[in-house]
Amino acid sequence: MLIIDKLSGVPIFEQIIDNIQLLIIQGVYPADTKLLSVRTFSQELNVNPNTLQKAFTELEREGICYSVTGSGRYVSKNAAEIIRKNKLSHLDEIANMVSSLKLFGVTKEQIIECVNEAYSGAKAKKGAEKQ
């Protein structure tokens, strides 16, 4: 089941993409699984069908799913690999942020502590609380 938070500030289509990608990685939607139709998803999530269509279009553009005319959309065979590769690209963003934090005097230990807390699921402390 996809979970949408309409108050989060994250666009709904992005939440849909993230949810579907997570379900693929978790094995809920293995390769060649037929995804629900735009109409069914939109009714289930109570969102505009155009929003779902935008999310599906992006997933297709990334190669995570594909359409079969008259049949629907399916999870691509290499979807999980594509998702993992895309997520690894965020490491560059993290490296840039770490470099910036270093310039502003945040210590390596503080950064590592923050990463460890985030990775373990513990709520990260705000920078002011750590000082």
How far apart CA 28 and CA 72 sit, in angstroms, is 18
Q: Do residues 65 and 119 share a domain?
A: no
pLDDT score recorded for residue 123:
57
Q: What is the pLDDT of residues 18-68, one digit of tens each?
A: 999 999 999 999 999 999 999 999 999 999 999 999 999 999 999 999 999
Provide the 8-state DSSP code for 34.
B
Asked if residue 32 lies in contact with residue 74, where contact means CB atoms within 8 angstroms, the answer is yes
Q: What is the pLDDT of residues 41-53, one digit of tens each?
A: 999 999 999 999 9
Does the residue 23 lie in any domain?
yes
pLDDT score recorded for residue 2:
84
Q: Do residues 16 and 75 share a domain?
A: yes
Domain boundary among 61, 79, 97: 79
pLDDT score recorded for residue 36:
92
DSSP states of 10-31 as a string? S-HHHHHHHHHHHHHHTTSS-T
Q: How many domains does the chain have?
A: 2
Query: What's the pTM?
Result: 0.76
Does the residue 6 lie in any domain?
no
Q: Do residues 17 and 54 share a domain?
A: yes
Does the residue 5 lie in any domain?
no
Q: Give the CA-trace dihedral at 126, 127, 130, 131, to 10 degrees.
A: -140
Q: Do residues 17 and 46 share a domain?
A: yes
Q: Residue 50 maps to which CATH number?
A: 1.10.10.10
How far apart CA 102 and CA 123 sit, in angstroms, is 22
H or E segment at 30? none
Domain span holding position 59: 12-79
Asked if residue 47 lies in contact with residue 4, where contact means CB atoms within 8 angstroms, the answer is yes
Does the residue 107 lie in any domain?
yes
Reply yes or no on whether the pLDDT at 131 is more than 70: no
